[in-house]
Amino acid sequence: MRKLSRVTRSLTPDIAGSTRISPAQQELILQTMRGFLYLLLGTFLLADSALAYKPLAHIKNGTLEGTVMKSRKGREFYGFRGIPYALPPISELRFEPPKPAAAWAGVRSAKEDANICTQRNIYTHQEEIVGIEDCLYLNVHTPKLPGRNEANYGAYPVMVWFHGGGWVTGAGHSEFYGPKFLLDHDVILVTVNYRLGPLGFLSTEDLVTPGNNGMKDQAQAIRWVHENIADFGGDPNRVTLFGESAGGVAVHYHMTSPLSRGLFQRGISQSGTALCPWALTRPGLARKKAQRVAELLGCPKDDSRKLVDCLRTKEAVDIIGTDRAFQVFDYCPMIPFRPVIEPDHPGAFLKEDPAISLKNGRLSDITWMTGITSHEGTLRVPGLYGLNNGELIKRLDKDFENLAPTTLLFEDTCPQQNYKNVSKAIREFYFGDKPLDKSTKYEVINMYSDAWFNYAADEAVRDHLKLFSSPIYYYYFSYRGSASFSRIFGDPTEDYGVSHADELQYLFPVGEQLFQDIPLSKEDNRIIDIVTALWYNFAKSGNPTPEITPDTPTKWKPVHTPALEYLNIGNSKDIHMSKNLFPERLKFWSDLMPSIRDIDGVTYQYKPIRDEL
């Protein structure tokens, strides 16, 4: 007969009634069984709760079902993705301002990102055109939801992200701009898709298609946040807009636009301000570009109504595909379709050059943060050296006087008779008698950095200091982490410093997609802690360093003198205040500006063409 286990043997005689168990033994057995049953029941309840709980948000248009997500440090939060904030801009709504999204019945799934807007990435020399026109959606990620009786529920600060990409590429997609890092903090993150390229920025410079529809998409998203964010636990009166590159310019533009003024309280412009030379299409030129698109696609070009009606019959990929016709030197002139100055009408996003608005104090006087990376020009330079065995840098060296106005983006505002002298002055300042080759790589980076980004940032901060009372926080991001965006801008084999967009790796998990072979280092993770804390504190209170902590080790002081004080974000042990960033280089551009611009340092103000009214 098989031997019985000790426990079985002790129970069997009792069951048979032939042996008694002592009271102490009975109590021990009962305690053991109760403990096991409680453990089993608890496991079932936890599993059932996790499976059964469906995060729901009840907004004006209907009910949304989201997902439970986890942050970098393991914190649970709720994500709602693919929320419509406007009607699909298709058919007769193509080239029209956004219309508010329609309501729905029942519960709408908000568990996945929506499609991205139709686009082609010029910066990575992408061949394929991707995305669709039905793309006006946003994502909301929140630490808590109303109605769950969770501890510390309250009105959270809200951060609304506008992606960069030169108004030609990008999306608010969670693969790149996900909540994993920022949602370690008590903040609500909103990321937004908006129309790109000619689908978002074509303008006939009259009331048929005034333009700026991509910017109006953003304004509609801001309005949506103002009306709905309380239903996610957010404070509609504590909204911070933030964006990088074209997204940074967009934030600055919203500070001047009547469509969005008053709907947000703080702004962060990373590597882009309203004064960047690529930020605006001068009046007269936008119409010519619309006519060129029409010619390429076989549409009438002289009558605005016929032009737009015809373009509405064309495939979106064919409209986006006209981008190559505007490129002269590789992808330069960068960004053929940009924001424009509109005729004066009730729905206008921009009624005057934002540079004039800024210099005359016609911006929202709100707390503003802006800054640059130490090698912004790396957006352009790796491609010059890395593509086609360096043929582009050789071409630029050989034909600098003719190519400089196009690639350094001053041909639209500089009088043509000044092209030669301006080009000569730039070459002399940065290179002297040296060639443009590998030996002067960092001089080429500095030239593009200053021309495309740095001077505009410096000038904008000076204007804010002079004309507005709200604090300005200026930063210089000089941390070189394990990976750099220079890898995807044309040359993965060389080091180009701290690239344009490199700071994004420490706000969002973009590296998980772009740099899968390069894990985050311990120091990278410390910079994530620091950068997300600074940005979160700014959104929460308007002060990035309300107190000194391990994650905010240095007091970030606002700009208060013409020396333009800034926070240098190096490695985690090298974060310090400094001033007078690039004095010689920026003085050179300041002295050069009268030859490039008119009307007290701002761009030419041509009267918009309105012959179709």
Query: Is 161 in contact with 192 (CB distance < 8 Å)?
Result: yes
CB-neighbour burial class of residue 282 (10 A; exposed 0-12, middle 13-18, buried 19+): middle
Q: Taking a C-beta distance cutoff of 8 angstroms, is the pair 607, 283 a contact?
A: yes
Per-residue three-class SS string for 398-414: HCHHHHHHHHCCCCCCC
DSSP states of 146-200: TTS--TT---EEEEEEE--STTTS----HHHH-STTGGGSS-EEEEE----HHHH
| Active-site residue, selected from the candidate residues 71, 203, 245, 423 | 245
| CA Rg value for the chain | 28
Six-digit token pair at 174? 């969670």
The answer to whether residue 91 is catalytic is: no
Q: Which of 205, 342, 376, 411 is catalytic?
A: 376
| DSSP secondary structure, 441-462, as one string | HHHHHHHHHIIIIIHHHHHHHH
In contact, 300 and 294? CB cutoff 8 Å: yes
| 226 catalytic residue (yes or no) | no
CA 12 – CA 470 distance, rounded (Å): 83
Pair 181, 352: CB distance under 8 Å: no
- The angle subtended at Cα 599 by Cα 597 and Cα 603, nearest 5°, is 45
Is 499 part of the annotated catalytic residue set? no
Which residues are CB-neighbours of 435 under 8 A, at least 6 positions away? 397
Q: Considering 205, 500, 565, 572, which one is annotated as catalytic?
A: 500
| Distance of alpha carbon 96 from alpha carbon 98, whole angstroms | 6
User: Any idea which residues carry the catalytic annotation?
Assistant: 245, 376, 500
